[in-house]
A and B are shown apart, each in its own frame.
Chain A
């Protein structure tokens, strides 16, 4: 019969040994937490942008009359391209310091 409690005690001692011997440091464990948090922040940014875009489109549908929509769509795309270009200019300038 397996003694699961003894196994957990052995695993706890082994975990302590790994830390004491420096194989797995607290710093490494902290880094794992930080790296996942950074991945989470980046991954959550995408749906947030998609949600904002969906909200803007919903507002536009209410505000722009149907006849004006094709022209408004072209203007929005041009504006978007302009903003992206401006953003990359500012970003690269900021990177250069």
Chain B
């Protein structure tokens, strides 16, 4: 097959402060560095991304000479149909699709989109020349969907985000609270039912009751729909925790850095994660991780954090206490986290992405 002169990307939606969107921008930089022309075409373009991304309608229906298309798959979308119909050679990058039952109760339209996404993933299998997956967990799902040639390429985490200095004003506010005592728990991710922030709140309530009545919990991330975040807010209020649980919404990179700076522990109770980039950022920034061992989390965390077999709130609270009560243990865990995070540096992920593109090019 003739090598391509351009590799364009198609993505259902692109927004700021989103792991898959950041990955897509980074992939574009690598493709251009490799000498390919490369544009991103998105069906939905969020604020802040205009000018860097072209509307999907502008994707020429005919193949430009030597054009390949790379589809970023994470949800059902008409963009997948446009990709399927296009005559170009096809690559697919799979970031996982949340199983519908985890969101059905809260967001029935989203559940429909996830079901559509999984159906589209299967339908695309015979059309796709080569597929990438964020994790071995995701690669196994690609195998199940009928993909025969896959390679694991970790999420391309923007080093600008990870190395960002903390916002001074937010840091001063958080450090002010810290100086009055109490541990800071952190979780970063969309406020969404499958990320189960309500289970973190339950564990946090147990922790305050058993060990540290001054502890604070910061839940950073934009909401997915209004119902789930509404329930989490009501739950927090009902438990009398309004003053100690903060739901920040989406925050700029420097503010996020401030939350990581003050965090004593990163707690994750997600039922489903295809990779979980914030966990890598926590390990990179020296925040010990305590997580429920679900989906791709055991793979992403490896030996770099505490993986719990259940998310019973008492067990999560006890595990956080074990980590925070003994400073030598905490230090060992932070060192283990740093070793694990080193596997996901941008350089390592870039090399894996380049190797995957080279492998796709070498196929007959």
Interface residues, chain A, with chain B CB atoms under 8 Å away: 1-2, 4, 7-8, 10-12, 14-15, 18-19, 23-24, 28-29, 32-33, 35-36, 38-40, 42-44, 46-47
Contact = CB atoms under 8 A, between A and B. Distances in A.
Contacts of A11: 306, 308, 315, 318-319, 321-322
A36 B232 CA distance: 8
Contacts of B313: 24, 29, 32
Q: Which 7 A-B pairs have the closest CB atoms?
A: A43-B230, A43-B231, A39-B234, A11-B319, A2-B332, A14-B318, A39-B235
B32 interface: no
Contacts of A38: 238
A38 to B, nearest CB: 8
B342 interface: no
26 contacts: A2-B332, A2-B335, A4-B305, A7-B319, A7-B333, A8-B319, A11-B315, A11-B319, A19-B314, A28-B206, A28-B209, A29-B206, A32-B202, A32-B206, A33-B202, A36-B198, A36-B202, A39-B234, A40-B105, A42-B231, A43-B227, A43-B234, A44-B227, A44-B231, A46-B227, A47-B225
Interface in B301-333: 303, 305-309, 312-315, 317-319, 321-323, 329, 332-333
B329 A42 contact: no
B253 to A, nearest CB: 30
Size bin of chain B's contact surface? 35 or more
Nearest to A21: B210
Interface of B: 105-106, 198, 201-202, 205-206, 209-210, 225-228, 230-232, 234-235, 238-239, 303, 305-309, 312-315, 317-319, 321-323, 329, 332-333, 335-336
B307 A8 contact: yes
A38 B206 CA distance: 19
A29 B206 CA distance: 8
A24 B235 contact: no
A39 to B, nearest CB: 4
Nearest to A44: B227
A69 B191 CA distance: 40
Given A2-B336, A29-B313, A39-B238, A23 B202 contact: no
Contacts of B234: 39, 42-43
Contacts of B201: 36
Contact of B329 (A2, A19, A36, A39): A2
A28 B230 CA distance: 23
A29 B314 contact: yes
A44 B202 CA distance: 20
Given A18-B206, A18-B318, 10 more contacts: A2-B335, A11-B319, A12-B315, A28-B209, A29-B206, A32-B202, A32-B205, A32-B313, A38-B238, A43-B234
Given A8-B306, A18-B314, A47 B227 contact: yes
A24 B238 contact: no
B336 A1 contact: yes
A36 B318 contact: no
A10 B322 CA distance: 8
A1 B232 CA distance: 37
Contacts of A47: 225-227
